[in-house]
Each structure stands twice: as structure tokens, then as C-alpha cells.
Amino acid sequence: MKLYSYGTAPNPRKVVIFLAEKGLDYELVEVDMMKGEHKTPDFLKKNPSGKLPVLELDDGRCLAESIAICRYLEAVCPEPNLFGRDAFELGYIEMRNRQLETELWSQIGQSWVHGPVVAKMGIVKQIPEVKEASDVSVEKYYERIDKELAESEFVAGDRFTVADITLVTGIDFATTLVGLKPDDSLANLWRWHAQILSRDSVDDIVSPK
């Protein structure tokens, strides 16, 4: 299978980490978003949304949406389990992951879209007030996560799951490209972050060696 990706873009990175956790082989295909390669007619046949990542199976079928791709991979390769084993855990991990997507990633996304990097691309009307508000939401969410990680070793309990992948990729993107690094005082968050970065599956893009 092939994974269409771009550098350390955060949604493809989720799948790259997930594939590494599963120990699955694949071909990585770089799609240069700066050149608009994700919007060409050929690429839109793979994903009509024109976004990365896309997983292409050996028979040519394609899947987009990072978490949908991870669900597919969990189904074909159930171990190590990353989405939950029993009914409660399945629901709990889903809940934690959805909260991160809708309450943290959405706000990082607003700060990105209305921030300096996207401004230079000249593709979106900039609304500085949106960025001001979303920056505050992200900082508040970091504080919430820090408190939660004082009680819990990982995002969704006492073991590594897909929700940890969603959080680390969100935080690293916010830190490196959106100017939203979590404050150094958030000791539980940083303890968790160091632990996640020590995994073989996770490249350190925040302070690469």
C-alpha cells in the first residue's frame, strides 16, 4: 500500500505514527502541497477533498481522513490495539479523540488559517480577531490537558492509544508552525510529551536531533 503524505504535515503524521506502531510496510509518496499537487485532477480522483493523507491499497482503492485510515489499519492489523478492546474502552478512546479534534485541533486550525504562514499564501481572508480568540482557546485547552495528565498517564487512560497520536501531532504542529507552544510550566503535559517522543514510532519534529 501507498501513503500519500507531505513532510511533517500533522494529519499524514498521525497515520505515519500509526503505521509504525503497527509495524506495517508501505510506500511513502510525497505530494508537494506547496506546488498544489494535492489539487490535481489525478489526485482528486484519489481524494475528492484534495487533502492529505490518502492511503492507496494495492488494488487501487483509496481511503482519506486520517482517523478513518487508522480505523482501517486497526481492522487489518488488530495488534497492538490502539482504538479500544471492550465496549467501554472503545467509547472512551473515541470520546477522548473526538474532544481533541473538535475542541483543540479545530482551534489550532483557526490560529493556523488566520496566522502569518497562511497569510503569506494569500488564499484565505485573514480575520485577526479569530486568531486572537482561538489562541486563547488553545492555551486554555493545554491547561486542561495538563490537569488531566496529572491524573492519567496517557490521554485515554493507562496505555498508549490513537488519542495520544492525535494530541502529539496537534501540539507539535501548533508548536512548530502556529506559534502555540504549550507553556513550560505545564509539567504534566511535558512529562507526557517526552514519554510519547521516546517511542520508536514517533519522530521528534519539535527538537529534531
Ligand X SMILES: N[C@@H](CCC(=O)N[C@@H](CS)C(=O)NCC(=O)O)C(=O)O
Instruction: Give me the half-sphere count of Cα atoms (radius 13 Å) on the Cβ side of residue 17.
Output: 29
Round to whole Å and give the CA distance between 24 and 195.
22
Q: Quick check: 52 binds ligand X (CB under 6 A)?
A: yes
DSSP H helical segments within 23-84, as ranges? 41-46, 66-76
Q: How far is the CB of 10 from ligand X (least distance, A)?
A: 5
Tell me the pairing of strands 27-30 and 2-5. Answer: parallel
**Contact pick of 16, 17, 38, 170 for ligand X (by CB under 6 A):** 38
Nearer to ligand X, 10 or 182 (CB): 10
User: Residue from 1, 11, 63, 196 that binds ligand X (CB under 6 A)?
Assistant: 11
The span from the CA of 28 to the CA of 109, in Å, is 25
CB of 68 to ligand X, least distance (A): 8
DSSP H or E stretch at residue 77: none
Task: Order across the sheet with 27-30: list the strands.
Answer: 27-30, 2-5, 54-56, 62-64
The residue among 113 and 149 lying less far from ligand X, judged by its C-beta, is 113
10 binds ligand X (CB under 6 A): yes
Q: Specify the amino acid at residue 12.
A: P
Contacting residue, 9, 100, 186, 205, with ligand X by CB under 6 A? 9
Other CB atoms closer than 10 Å to residue 116's CB: what's the count? 12
Task: Give, in order, the Cα–Cα distances in Å from 179 to each of 9, 182, 206.
Answer: 15, 9, 12
148 interacts with ligand X by CB under 6 A: no
Position 174 contacts ligand X (CB under 6 A) = no
Query: Which stretch in 8-16, 111-119, 174-182, 193-201 sits in contact with ligand X by CB under 6 A?
Result: 8-16
Nearer to ligand X, 11 or 189 (CB): 11
CB of 189 to ligand X, least distance (A): 22
Report if residue 51 touches ligand X, rule: CB under 6 A: yes
- Looking only at residues 57 through 96 of this chain, which bind ligand X when binding is defined by CB under 6 A? 65-67
Written as nine digits, the cell of 19 is 503505521
Q: Which stretch binds ligand X (CB under 6 A): 21-29, 50-58, 137-145, 154-162?
A: 50-58
Return all residues near 107 (Cβ < 8 A) that are at least 6 apart: 134, 137, 138, 141
Q: Which residues bind ligand X (CB under 6 A)?
A: 9-11, 33, 38, 50-53, 65-67
